[in-house]
Amino acid sequence: MNTDRVLSLLGLAKKAGKVVSGEFSVEEAVKKGTAKLVLTAEDASGNTKKLFTNKCAFYKVPYMTCGTKETLGRAIGNQFRASVAVTDEGFRDAIVKLLNQGGSLHGQKENL
């Protein structure tokens, strides 16, 4: 399943120091332009999804949903995470490619 591969890539990106997590940190990365891709959990609150949908559209950052809060958190070594930002273009491209194969793309496909 592609979601498992995406979560594995997130773990590698975290070890490489290319992941920011948590609502405040992700929002800051989007505003500063360091976020190359924002992922939110499918079970994140409507307010969280709306916040990142709007921010990512405004700042032209690709946005997708993937996994649950528990699986996103576990992938990067935390308990729960509703949002993460990937700050590396190589990891972004690999994750987007996997999610496109599974048909899980939501949001800003045209910005890639």
Q: What is the pLDDT along the chain (112 residues), one digit of tens a residue?
A: 588 999 999 999 999 999 999 999 999 999 999 999 999 999 999 999 999 999 999 999 999 999 999 999 999 999 999 999 999 999 999 999 998 886 544 444 434 4
- Long-range residue pairs from 102-105, CB within 8 A, at least 24 positions apart, any chain: 102/1, 102/2, 102/3, 104/2, 104/3, 104/64, 104/65, 104/66, 105/64
100 residue type, one letter:
N
89-102 and 2-15 helices cross at what angle (nearest 10)? 170
Structure confidence at residue 101 (pLDDT): 82
d(CA 1, CA 22): 25
Neighbours of 60 (CB within 10 A): 11
The per-residue pLDDT for 1 is 53
The beta strands (E) that lie in the chain are given as: 19-21, 37-40, 63-65, 83-86
pLDDT for the residue 109: 43
Q: Could you give the strand order of the β-sheet that contains 83-86, starting from the edge strand earlier in sequence?
A: 19-21, 83-86, 37-40, 63-65
pTM of the model: 0.87
**Euclidean distance between CA atoms 7 and 50, whole angstroms:** 23
Specify the residue for token string 């989007």. 30
